[in-house]
Amino acid sequence: MRRAAIAAVAVLAMGLAGTAGAEERGGTRLRNNPAAMLDQIDANRGCPLSTTNVAVGVNRAFSAGSSATQQVGSVSGGSGGCRPLVTTQVAAGVNLSLGRGSQATQAIGVQGQRGALATTTFSRGANMAVGARSSATQQILNQVR
């Protein structure tokens, strides 16, 4: 029963690998005094109000003796002296080694810039090896500069 549930999760997640990003325009332009935030808001002047940076990976080795390796990364940063008011970063991965003697290795990395008012990071991983002599290795890195 447990193997069937794991296989069902893996099949559902098979098409989810990739990266995404979104932003709105507005925000702050850093000037002489970065501490005076209210004076720096240049609404609709080309600086981002918010940015979202997402990296999601699904890696799987199903057959006996199979091997799967995956690296997913996403980098975002400001431009032209702008810094968003709010940033959100997500790093998530599913790494499955489900066959006898199979190996699955996954590395996911997100790097972004700190928001002027708020920064939210979310990291989550599922790493599983099922089967004799199978192994699964996962690394999830979510950095803010």
- pLDDT block averages, 10 residues each, the chain of length 145: 47 49 50 55 64 93 95 81 86 95 96 88 96 96 91
Query: Can you give the pLDDT at residue 120?
Result: 93
Alpha-carbon torsion (145, 127, 54, 52), positive or negative: negative
Q: What is the pLDDT, as a whole number, of residue 114?
A: 86
Q: Containing domain of residue 47, as a range?
A: 2-144
* Domain total of the chain: 1
In whole angstroms, what is the distance from residue 63 CA to residue 101 CA?
9
- What span, in angstroms and rounded, lies between the C-alpha atoms of 30 and 18? 32
The reply to whether the predicted model has a pTM over 0.85 is no
* Distance (Å, whole) CA 74 – CA 141: 11
Encoded amino acid at 32, one letter: N
Distance in angstroms (rounded) separating the CA atoms of residues 79 and 58: 31
CA dihedral 23, 27, 31, 35 (to 10 degrees): -110
pLDDT at 8: 46
